[in-house]
Structure 1
Amino acid sequence: MTRLAYYNENDPYLCDWLRNLIRAELIPPGDVDDRDIRSVSAADVRGYAQCHFFAGIGGFAYAARLAGWPDDVPLWTGGFPCQPFSVAGRQRAQADDRHLWPELHRLIAQARPALFLGENVTGLIPLGLDGVLADLEGEGYAGRAIVVPACAVNAPHRRDRVWIVGRRLAHRADAERRAHGAGGDNTDRPDAGREEADHRTGSGGANGLANGHGERRREARRLCGRATQWPAGGGEGGVEHPARERRGEGRAEPGLRQRQHAAAPGAGSMGNTDDAGPQGCIERWQRAGEWDAWAAGRTLAGRRIPEPGIRLLAHGIPGRIPRLRAAGNAIVPQVAAEILRALRP
């Protein structure tokens, strides 16, 4: 029997938060495990359709709901701790005892989920992204990474994050063989035996993991989304793009000048396009997903300038410190939802 969701989070405050979200039916029903991930085994997660590690306040599970991802369709997620790769965490990478990707890798290797979606700060790119993708590839996954900022979904802040997708190649190959088998016995085809051997060994064919002629890369892009959605690193949306954007590279001069100086009609000094003030802009984004300040095109060194007024440090909010810590460690669900929509079966 397939159970719906497994949530792993060792912060008691966040575990209570997750249980409240489950009761409110905002995230899939399931079990909250408050143990350290180092104590979790593959047997503990067997039978769950969704597994969310470092679950926090349920951002990935909520994103799955936003994307229309069925609760019973397999999905693993994990925004593994960013402190080893963050400037605030001194960027000690693998030398930091909070580096827990190896534990998540261990569970992926043992349980072999069909799909994994992870998230981290962009400091991971020079300090450990190659290792993460190599670990996924070594387990037979097509891996892909892309930087998507929060402002890409009109959030009122930039918040660059690297998103990592891993799709198990054998799982896709098995699904394709079953689809072919629905129209007849695929053993009747002359190349069926060769394809079966290729899928088992990864030594060749379109799904092979060890093909020296670029087939593996093309297959990885196909399995992790349309090629136009997962461009190369130097292009729009690739991991190098934010730096290129800040330098103004790759843009025609008239467009760059307009982007730096032009303001939308009716915009205020910071790009505010309504009379409700900054708090009104925030409430509108929360309600309708629209942030008027972005329409003004005002930039500073290539960065968009949001209207000030997100009063996270206001006095009088109950549980202010743990709430801030929880929100600071959370993902932006709307970004994850866009990725999951592209991967939705």
Structure 2
Amino acid sequence: MLDLFSGIGGFSYAGEKLVGGYETVAFCEYDKHAQKVLRKHWPDTEIIDDVRELANDAERFRGSVDIICGGYPCQPFSLAGVRRGDKDDRHLWPEMLRIIQAVRPTWVCGENVAGHISMGLDTVLSDLEAGGYQARCFVIPAVAADAHHRRDRCWVVAHSDDAGQSASQRAREDNRNQPWNDTWRRSTDVADAGSRGSENARAENVGNADKSNSQRINGWEPKPSEQGGRQGFAARCEDVPNASSPRLQGDVGQGQAGSQGKSEGYPAKCRWWEPEPAVGRVANGVSGRVHRLRQLGNSIVPQVAARILWAIKKSHNG
């Protein structure tokens, strides 16, 4: 894995610690405090300061990287900002694209805010397709991994076209030759998207965790006996405020994931959230509290990334 816009290493933590089988060859992160966190937990892994410098020298990673991950800056697209898009100085997707083009990994996994769907997502999907990747996007909130807050995020997953053609060209030539295995077909209806052409698989096809079929987002269709119930891995948004509900406390009931947190080999350690300690609303004497809060706010939720990386690993290894 080449981990871009690494922050405190959420993608690498998900791939190495929660899923297993991933190894991070380098981080790219400019924030000095975040770099300290990365050096503490990955002391032997290279940290590159500037994504632009990495883009100029990315070919050195070609042949040694299977997947590039990165939560490219959200400020150009966030509904909380002025949404200047590609006119924002923090618009760094073009640099991530340059790195992808130079390294040519088999997989790409990107993350951004939900506001990206209405601004910039079409460009990202088109850039990936033009570069020989078939890409799909999903909205998976933190609550889908049983977190105690919603935190909607847009996740872009792309797989390379071995023939070097664009995804739409390949779909026209052989719409059966999809680079996704059955795990992804069940969760994203890729075969149906392929019949329409990848150029049409845009924001209207983004998975919506609010919909009644939200159990499909994470790749597990409910059994017929479960379709009428509330079971399954994906959470329902109306439960989010109820922190006392059994589901939010870790009891997922009789869903596909099972009460032991297992689903087709998915590691159980990704399923549980430790209860929060009973501390006051104001924490006194916490070292680097402002830095910590900023890093947590900028970070991805590793438990959500782990679901995606687990499915990619399963597909990649056949």
Length-normalised TM-score, structure 1: 0.59
1:319: how far off? 0.6
Tell me which of the two structures has the higher relative contact order, counting C-alpha pairs closer than 8 angstroms and 6 or more residues apart.
2
1:215: how far off? 4.5
* AA matched with 1:14: A
Counterpart of 2:158 in structure 1 is: 166
Counterpart of 1:227 in structure 2 is: 185
1:46: how far off? 1.9
1:93: how far off? 1.3
* AA matched with 1:226: W
5+ long unaligned stretches in structure 1: 24-28, 52-73, 171-198, 203-207, 246-253, 263-268, 294-306
1:332: how far off? 0.5
Are the structure 2 counterparts of residues 309 and 95 from structure 1 closer, same or farther at C-alpha, using a change threshold of 3 Å? farther
Which is richer in helix? 1
Counterpart of 2:89 in structure 1 is: 97
Are the structure 2 counterparts of residues 213 and 225 from structure 1 closer, same or farther at C-alpha, using a change threshold of 3 Å? same
1:30: how far off? 1.7
Are the structure 2 counterparts of residues 79 and 224 from structure 1 closer, same or farther at C-alpha, using a change threshold of 3 Å? farther
1:222: how far off? 2.5
| CA distance in 1: counterparts of 2:75 and 2:295, whole angstroms | 14
Counterpart of 2:26 in structure 1 is: 6
Give the conservation status (yes or no) of the 8 Å contact 1:225–1:343: no
Are the structure 2 counterparts of residues 144 and 212 from structure 1 closer, same or farther at C-alpha, using a change threshold of 3 Å? closer
Give the conservation status (yes or no) of the 8 Å contact 1:79–1:120: yes
Residue 320 in structure 1 maps to residue 289 in structure 2: yes
Are the structure 2 counterparts of residues 128 and 321 from structure 1 closer, same or farther at C-alpha, using a change threshold of 3 Å? same
1:333: how far off? 0.6
Give the conservation status (yes or no) of the 8 Å contact 1:4–1:50: no
Identity %: 36
| CA distance in 2: counterparts of 1:230 and 1:105, whole angstroms | 24
Q: CA RMSD in A?
A: 4.0
Q: Which structure is larger by alpha-carbon Rg, 1 or 2?
A: 1
1:231: how far off? 3.8
1:230: how far off? 1.7
Residue 272 in structure 1 maps to residue 287 in structure 2: no
Residue 46 in structure 1 maps to residue 60 in structure 2: yes
5+ long unaligned stretches in structure 2: 1-22, 194-200, 213-227, 231-235, 251-268
| CA distance in 2: counterparts of 1:333 and 1:153, whole angstroms | 9
- Give the total of aligned pairs: 242
Give the conservation status (yes or no) of the 8 Å contact 2:62–2:105: no
Residue 33 in structure 1 maps to residue 5 in structure 2: no
* Corresponding residue to 1:156 among 148, 154, 161: 148
Q: How far does the alpha carbon of each residue in 1:252-285 deviate from its partner, in whole angstroms, 9 at most, with x for none?
A: xx979xx8999xxxxxx945258xxx9xx59xxx
1:97: how far off? 1.1
Please identify, of 141-150 and 307-316, the stretch whose mean Cα deviation from structure 2 is larger.
307-316
Are the structure 2 counterparts of residues 85 and 97 from structure 1 closer, same or farther at C-alpha, using a change threshold of 3 Å? same
Q: How far does the alpha carbon of each residue in 1:85-111 deviate from its partner, in whole angstroms, 9 at most, with x for none?
A: 112222221121111001111111122
| CA distance in 2: counterparts of 1:15 and 1:133, whole angstroms | 30
Are the structure 2 counterparts of residues 288 and 167 from structure 1 closer, same or farther at C-alpha, using a change threshold of 3 Å? closer
Counterpart of 2:224 in structure 1 is: none
* AA matched with 2:42: I
* Corresponding residue to 1:132 among 114, 117, 124: 124
